[in-house]
A and B are shown apart, each in its own frame.
Chain A
Amino acid sequence: MITTSHFLVLSAILFTTGVVGVLVKRNPIVIFMCVELMLNAANLSFIALGRHFGQVNGQMYVIFALAVAAAEVSVGLGIIVAIFRAKETINVDEINLMKS
């Protein structure tokens, strides 16, 4: 029997993997991907809890999360391309424009 808790634990594991990826990686594109993974884990728990309570709220939140993720990715990748044009690198350790 698969209960809601199974889905929540799976979502927690995926979220943690995303967190570790954000901390470990040096490539901002991959860091972005890890953020997407975290969003997805949150979406999974939204839908699992929505079914648990028999409500549509969970799925609605996921729809908005999807739209926001799409917007975030388009702008974020635009920023990465712009930084690459200016600095010829996208390693997050070497991008410290504000520090000079």
Chain B
Amino acid sequence: MIFPEFVGGVHLPPLVPYIALAGTIGFILMILPGLIWIERVVIALMQDRSGPNRVGPRGLLQSTADVVKLFFKEDMSPKSADIKIYYLAPFLTVLCAFSAGGVLPLQTLTFHLANGDFQTVPLTVGDVNIGVLYILAVSSLQVYGVVLAGWASNNKYSLLGGLRGSAQLISYELSMGLAILCVVLFSGTCQLNKIVDAQSGAPFGLPLPEIFNGSIFSWFWLGTGIIPVVIYTIAMIAETNRAPFDLPEAESELIAGFHTEYSSMKFAMFFTGEYVSMLVVSGLNAALFWGGPLPPLNIIPFTLIPGFVWFITKVMGGIFFYTWLRATYPRLRYDALMHLGWKRMLPLGLVWLFLLAVVSLGRSPAKSADNVPEKPVTATQQVQTLPNAVAHR
């Protein structure tokens, strides 16, 4: 789709990040009740029961009723809690979850400039060149919500949940990072929009018809050899504390884990944070491994649909996968969780990263998306012009 540069005298391209900001936050907030409804209905279908069917048609207003209930519940806090940190923890959770969504590549808008040229602007809040690292950094901060909630509640179940949460999140972040590194290795950039661009070529560089350009076969789930996407998907479920990795809030062992002592809106904020981070890691999955806003085949009915619709469809696929796993698998034992993370996924990820590095040595470097004419600046050149920089005081 091509948009004109000026509409009613308003210069559009600089406005794109703000549109993306409003769109992302609005979309997330509007989809949340629907998401909870979808999850409950899907689980009910899988377990052959009715699910929500009382409030509104087909139970559609059930989440709204839940939100109203949470608003009006009494806001309690334990007497012996560390009250400042106790209030800080849910805010941290929501803040980190929302701010991680800022670099997701929703779509690329093309503007028709007045002088006849075309300008492409990514529909992203902040299209930073360390996009992948930014998401890793913010999601590594997310552990503080869990740990501080567990510690500040002054409750042994909460403390155990917080301890479990911190160990689990640190362990699985390593595997997650390795899987992401495989993609960064092949695309040659950390910028998410360029990673999407790197998936828009022909599959494996083979001379295939145009229909396969940027198709489902050229995305990185296949391009990096399936192992990274499996590792990433397992790690992303563990990172968001969802079943079957919901050890920090295992209700049969720890009551409700780290948020045992939280009620009312504070509990609702933990809940929101959990669902938002599910959306964000599913979005990262879609962008890294499933082509982001690219259509599955490069033919006419698919390419007419705008990119953000494809992106949201892929994110919803991730959410469905979450629900599916939750309805299917029992919770892991704690030692089995650590065993899977450290002794299975981490060595596998390391070996696979090594193999991919060997493979990418054989590929021509011209394919990397970051090969813009920008001149590589090395410090040796400067040292020559600056002979006594260190000695000079």
Contact = CB atoms under 8 A, between A and B. Distances in A.
Interface of A: 53-57
A53 B379 CA distance: 11
Interface in B344-393: 379, 382-383, 386, 389-390
12 contacts: A53-B386, A53-B389, A54-B382, A54-B386, A55-B379, A55-B382, A55-B383, A55-B386, A55-B389, A56-B379, A57-B379, A57-B390
**Interface footprint category on B:** under 10
The 5 closest A-B pairs by CB, nearest first: A56-B379, A53-B389, A55-B379, A55-B382, A54-B382
Contacts of A55: 379, 382-383, 386, 389
Contacts of B386: 53-55
A54 B382 CA distance: 8
Contacts of B390: 57
Interface of B: 379, 382-383, 386, 389-390
B193 to A, nearest CB: 25
Contacts of A54: 382, 386
Q: In this complex, which of B383, B386, B389 has the most chain A Cβ atoms within 10 angstroms of its Cβ?
A: B389
Contacts, number: 12
Nearest to A52: B389
Contacts of B389: 53, 55
Nearest to B385: A54
A44 to B, nearest CB: 18
A57 B386 CA distance: 13
A46 B161 CA distance: 40
A90 B390 CA distance: 43
A61 to B, nearest CB: 12
Nearest to A50: B379
B227 to A, nearest CB: 27
A53 B389 CA distance: 7
Contacts of B382: 54-55
Given A53-B386, A55-B382, A55-B383, 9 more contacts: A53-B389, A54-B382, A54-B386, A55-B379, A55-B386, A55-B389, A56-B379, A57-B379, A57-B390
Contacts of B379: 55-57
A53 B383 CA distance: 10
Nearest to A56: B379
Contacts of B383: 55
A57 B383 CA distance: 10
A14 B386 CA distance: 30
Contacts of A53: 386, 389
A56 B379 CA distance: 6
A67 to B, nearest CB: 15
Contacts of A57: 379, 390
A53 B387 CA distance: 12
A50 to B, nearest CB: 10
A54 B390 CA distance: 12
A55 B382 CA distance: 7
Nearest to B389: A53
A61 B227 CA distance: 35
A5 to B, nearest CB: 14
A63 B267 CA distance: 39
Nearest to A59: B379
A57 B390 CA distance: 10
B125 to A, nearest CB: 26
A78 B297 CA distance: 53
Nearest to B392: A53
Nearest to B380: A56
Nearest to A54: B382
A55 B384 CA distance: 11
A5 B2 CA distance: 49
A67 B391 CA distance: 26
A55 B380 CA distance: 9
A55 B379 CA distance: 6
A80 to B, nearest CB: 17
Q: In this complex, which of B379, B383, B386, B390 has the most chain A Cβ atoms within 10 angstroms of its Cβ?
A: B379
A57 B184 CA distance: 25
B62 to A, nearest CB: 46
A22 B390 CA distance: 31
A25 B382 CA distance: 44
Nearest to B378: A56
B389 to A, nearest CB: 5
